[in-house]
Structure formats: structure tokens, C-alpha cells
A = this chain, B = another copy of it.
């Protein structure tokens, strides 16, 4: 069994064991936040025809070549075309069509002039300057040309993607199924949220925090509940999770001691343990296993340790499983805003918040960095790396940081 391995090795082991989830077809109305399981190629131009960007007159630019204030050109209005209607006549030399915003450019016309720049009656329009061919025409396909790859497979469907799919008439869309992730909390010390505190007990907050991160990430949490520190009980709950979900995340019982039962439960189930302990702080007490083709991740019971590893190691593999083309955390450079006075004998990740100032990226530490300190995850969208063997870090120093889900 691999033990105390680097984070990067842990990540690539998980990536190697992660299977991309199946596909399903859903209504466009339900598609926000889902991951596209197909490449979207525009089967039509958007917009589908050349149109007028404002209310005015469409005509042939060549008619106005010598037009001026002193020597205006007068054209005969042969038709009026509002938005939503097709022109029925062709524009010939000496004629114009009254055209409204969004209406199709009539055949023969190659330019449009605004209302306000003309003089007009019901039957005639007078023009005072030369127009250029193609001027003031929104061309067909200006937004998206037919045949363009509009969105790649593995893209998360955001509002404008939804709008473009609608423009293309995609009333249904193929997406990846949302992975179901089981959440198992272990520990004799855990109480349900509604229970009053008792000596030695704490409330099961990890289950809620995990649900929140998983839902924010667009996957479906399945709460399996609390298992006491007995390997048989933990094993039974893991089996329940394997039956209901695509992956299991447990918290607690992944450390080193007498009552750390997740490892024993996994052995009892015949799961293969992939590794145990990661060489970082916080969150070294992490294990990964697999059984029946499904990953089982054991996180620390300490809230911050669990959530930092969730962000650094688990959410990326869940995003990969969910079919996302981009799943790794983006790495950026930041300048630390605060001193961090502790030494870091071991490689450490600091919780902080991205701050923009004068075109530079800074990180503000969001609070205490202890393993139990969940409050500093509030607003934390950056995890900055301090290499192992470092001394205290001063405000103004540059660090590498990962952008993480907040």
C-alpha cells in the first residue's frame, strides 16, 4: 500500500481510476449547469438572415454615390417590412424599402440608413450623403456561422450557452448524468444537527459542508448518515453507498489510531486500498480505495483538513467523472497580503481569498489555519502553497495558489 505520497501522485491515481459517467438527453429548460455530452455545431446561421440593426430605409448604395446636403437623392418607397415579416418586393435602382429593427434586408438592397438621417413621407425618402455597400447590415451568421463548433463537448452549460442552444432550436440536449456521491460520516462523537450537545460530542457538520460543495459543483449528494466507530457498521454503510452512488466520500476514522476504522472496514469489504496519507498539511490523514469500479475516499474528520483535500484532490476527479473537459484547479501567482508566522516543515496549503488591486493578484488569509478551523473556508477561493521546509512567510511574498470552488 502506498503511504504518505505527494498530492500530485494521489491525484493521478484517482484520475486513472475514475470512469466518466453515462449520458442522458434532457429538456433545454433543465440544462443549466449540466455538462454537454456532445459537441454543438451550428446547423444554421445565427441570426438566420441579414437584417437591419435599426429602423430606417434599405436601398442600393450605388443610388447615393453623389448624394449631398445640397444635392439629395430621392427614392420611392415600395414596401414596409417590420421585424418578423419577409420582404415581398425586390429593391431596384431608385427605390427603397422602409425597414424596422430586426427585419430582413430585401433582395437588391445592400445598405440601410437610419430614420433620423433622412427626410421622408409615406411614399418617398430623401438621402443626403453617400452610403457604402454593406453598411448598417447585420449579416446572417454574424453571431454564429453555420458549421461553427459553437460549444465543445464537456462544457458546463451556462446562461449564454443555453441561449445559443435555444437560437439553434435545440429543444433537447445530450448531457452527462450527474454523478451521485455518497457522504458517510464516521465517529462515536457525532450528533445530528438537531440534537443538543452532550459531553465529548460534536454535531455532524462535515456532512452539510460536503453536501454544499458537491451541490455547488453540480453533482448529487446522497447522505448515507453516521456510522459509529465499529468496522462492521462502517462496512455496512459503505456497501449501502456503493449500491446507491458512483463514489463514496467518508469523513473521520482515516487517521492512525485504535479507533480509525475506515481502513479496517475497507479490508473487511475486500476493497483495494490505493493509498493512505498524503504528504501535505492540512489533510494528510486521507485514504483512497476502490471496489466494484467505484472510488471510496476517506477524508479526515477535522473539518478544514477534509475540505482542503476535497478541493485540492477530490472535486477535480469528480468534475472529470462528471464529463467536464476542464477539471483541474487553475494555478495562479499571488502576493500574500498577511504574514503567516508559522514554519512549514511539511508542504502546506494556506486558505485565502483572491483580492484584486491595481492589476495585481493578492491573497488575503481568511482566518485560522488549524485543521479544525472551518470558518476560514468561508470566502476561501484560493489555496496557496508553501513548500515543505519553509520558515514563516511574510506579507509581500509571492506564492503559487490554486483557484478552488468557493
Q: Identify the A interface with B (CB < 8 A).
A: 28-29, 32-33, 44, 46-49, 53-55, 81-86, 100-104, 115, 138, 142-144, 150-151, 157-171, 187-190, 193-197, 199-213, 215-216, 229, 252, 255-260, 301-303, 307, 330, 332-335, 356, 358-361, 368, 370-375, 377-378, 380, 398, 406
Say which residue of B55, B196, B359 sits within 8 Å of A257 (CB atoms): B55
CB-CB nearest 4 A-B residue pairs: A159-B212, A163-B209, A55-B257, A84-B188
Kindly name the residue among A164, A167, A187 whose own CB sees the greatest number of chain B CB atoms within 10 A: A167
Contacts of A375 in B (CB 8 A): 46, 143-144, 150, 160, 164
Say whether, besides A47-B202, A256-B115, A163 and B374 are in contact (CB < 8 Å): yes
14 contacts between A and B (CB under 8 A): A28-B193, A28-B208, A44-B197, A48-B201, A53-B302, A53-B372, A83-B200, A83-B259, A143-B373, A160-B374, A160-B378, A166-B205, A168-B203, A169-B195
Copies in the complex: 2
- Shortest A183–chain B CB gap in Å is 12
- Cα A382 to Cα B203 with chains together (Å): 41
- Shortest A196–chain B CB gap in Å is 7
- Shortest A401–chain B CB gap in Å is 10
- Cα A29 to Cα B194 with chains together (Å): 12
Is there an interface contact between B332 and A208, defined as CB atoms closer than 8 Å?
no
Is there an interface contact between B143 and A303, defined as CB atoms closer than 8 Å?
yes
Say whether, besides A193-B169, A196-B169, A188 and B82 are in contact (CB < 8 Å): yes
Is there an interface contact between A101 and B216, defined as CB atoms closer than 8 Å?
no
Kindly name the residue among A159, A194, A256 whose own CB sees the greatest number of chain B CB atoms within 10 A: A159
- Cα A189 to Cα B213 with chains together (Å): 42
Residue of B nearest to A213 (CB): B159
Is there an interface contact between A209 and B378, defined as CB atoms closer than 8 Å?
no
Is there an interface contact between B373 and A142, defined as CB atoms closer than 8 Å?
yes
Is there an interface contact between A187 and B374, defined as CB atoms closer than 8 Å?
no
Is there an interface contact between A163 and B303, defined as CB atoms closer than 8 Å?
yes
- Cα A212 to Cα B173 with chains together (Å): 15
- Cα A370 to Cα B137 with chains together (Å): 11
Say which residue of B54, B104, B330 sits within 8 Å of A200 (CB atoms): B104
Is there an interface contact between B166 and A209, defined as CB atoms closer than 8 Å?
yes
- Shortest A158–chain B CB gap in Å is 6
Contacts of A47 in B (CB 8 A): 202, 372
Is there an interface contact between A358 and B333, defined as CB atoms closer than 8 Å?
yes
Is there an interface contact between B83 and A212, defined as CB atoms closer than 8 Å?
no
